[in-house]
Chains A and B, each alone.
Chain A
């Protein structure tokens, strides 16, 4: 039976349980697509064929034994950003100095996906060191630039460039990305897929490359918000190996989250919008955003114009990333291997960051506390905050980022501020802009409010259809 590589997790799961296709057949299809399209999209570092076929065969045995519906990921292939440790398979962090690095254990997220019956088919490309040294160009990985399947002259976004491109091109049904400040939301937007940045601490970081201990998050990039909910359910929850997970989603909560996000009708929420976030963006970005807001309104949500608290979000997040990033990669700064990085800005960026003064880092963490208080007060007035995910469509491959889209502004720094808050966010495709490139709407929520966030996102996608579009060349 021919299977649509763009099928959702639910659709693939139904086909597997009905024995219309086996996990091994499904896995072979995605392996073939990864091999065929992965290189031209700069999406793949390592194809994990042997492990994939072994996991798929095991899944088929479980399916044959009559696996229950409660295991929605059983037999489903997936890829991970190449900063998650995988036993015996290289984990390169997208960076030349770590190209031959191999761990002897699986990251907690990979372990949990394996436990849920997932089939790891690929380690996916990423911006070197997840962008921690200040890259300013799309060509920032030893695998070359990630290309968005909608127009391969443009970037798939970063730093989760491979997960974005691979999901968008139907090379995997879903992927795992990470975000320190924008690295799930941006590639989801530029690649036209749905990405969930979970609450800080909701998903264990054990076995993930550390860029910034107080900001790093791990989350799913999928075809739909419903798929994000399914994957989030499988990877979330406390982990003794990551103390920051303690108390965020204690045992018992995950199952409740997964089911209530899928509730039959949308919960009526108050959604905040801010005029400055869409006034000076690209015209198509603005138009598509306003249409998204109209959909939310039609679904019974209350739309409320809000004023965003004024804080130095950009400098705060930049100083934290600068100091923690330089510390996390002190080894390659001390021995000079940072010079092996791909982009000139990265080759010298870490050395600059290592000159960050402790008092400035602490000032940033003190400002962050005030920022979080103010944003939590904002979320006492609203349930969700909606804004364009990015002010523009994707950047062209070639020029530096600051050489294009001059004069465009997204207004309040939503991505940095929400990352400082540690709250969850979801980016969803909502149409197209110039050069045939996708645009995207983001919803953000207070920490540990994934339920309301995903509920609204799932119902938005049920009423639209943007997430079902496929790039012609890879359809």
Chain B
């Protein structure tokens, strides 16, 4: 198995010009039980020309995987990681558009005083 060097990975990313995949089968679509397949209607549209370029965020996230775990992944696997990010990042970016205000606290609470059981 050929392991991916960072230089090789950077070269792959520079050369990447493929269209964004239309299925939501990656990071943002996964749960502990399988999600039903997405409907074929809406996502089947031809992506806009500017969307054909991979998002810089997808490149960056794939770069993080390469830096953290590249020694365990061969070129084909790294390519799959990158492809998965290309398809999932648009969902992530849409999620980031969901409006939250300063007062919207996370759904867990830190307690400084906890009674003993």
- Please classify how large the interface on chain A is, using the bins under 10, 10 to 19, 20 to 34, 35 or more: 35 or more
From A185, A318, A365, give the contact of B33 (CB < 8 A): A185
- Pairwise interchain contact B33-A157, C-beta atoms closer than 8 A: yes
Q: How near does chain B come to A35, taking the closest CB pair, in angstroms?
A: 28
User: In this assembly, does B110 line the interface, its C-beta being within 8 Å of a C-beta of chain A?
Assistant: no
Contacts of A243 in B (CB 8 A): 114
B interface majority secondary structure: loop
22 contacts between A and B (CB under 8 A): A157-B33, A158-B32, A180-B32, A181-B33, A183-B33, A186-B34, A187-B33, A315-B92, A316-B95, A318-B28, A321-B30, A333-B69, A336-B72, A339-B72, A349-B30, A351-B72, A355-B68, A366-B100, A366-B106, A367-B98, A400-B25, A415-B31
Closest to B35 in A: A314
Counting chain A CB atoms within 10 Å of each CB, which of B41, B61, B72, B77 scores highest?
A: B72
**CB interface residues, B 47-93, toward A, < 8 Å:** 61, 64-65, 68-69, 71-73, 77, 80-81, 84-85, 91-92
Identify which of B31, B40, B64, B106 gathers the most chain A CB atoms within 10 Å of its CB: B31
A397 contacts the other chain (CB 8 A):
no
Nearest-neighbour CB distance to chain B for A206, whole angstroms, equals 13
A368 touches B30 (CB 8 A): no
Contact A130 B71 (CB under 8 A): no
Number of interface residues of B (CB under 8 A): 45
Q: Report yes or no: B30 in contact with A318, Cβ–Cβ below 8 A.
A: yes
Which residues of B have CB within 8 Å of A362? 106
CB pair B91 A315 closer than 8 Å = yes
A-B contact count (CB 8 A): 169
List chain A residues, Cβ under 8 A from B92: 315, 319, 360
B27, A322: Cβ atoms under 8 Å?
Answer: yes
B-chain residues with CB within 8 Å of residue A400 when the two chains form the complex: 25
Known: A131-B32, A186-B33, A405-B36. 9 other contacts (CB 8 A): A136-B34, A212-B32, A314-B35, A315-B91, A321-B30, A333-B69, A348-B81, A403-B37, A408-B36
The answer to whether B30 touches A130, judged by C-beta atoms less than 8 angstroms apart, is: no
* The residue from A157, A158, A348, A407 contacting B40, defined by CB atoms under 8 A apart: A407
A76 to B92, CA, bound (A): 48
**Which B residues lie within 8 Å of A354 (CB)?**
65, 68-69
Contact residues in B for A465 (Cβ distance below 8 Å): none
| 7 interchain residue pairs of minimum CB distance | A182-B33, A134-B30, A365-B106, A180-B32, A181-B31, A186-B33, A336-B72
**Interface membership of B23, Cβ < 8 A:** yes
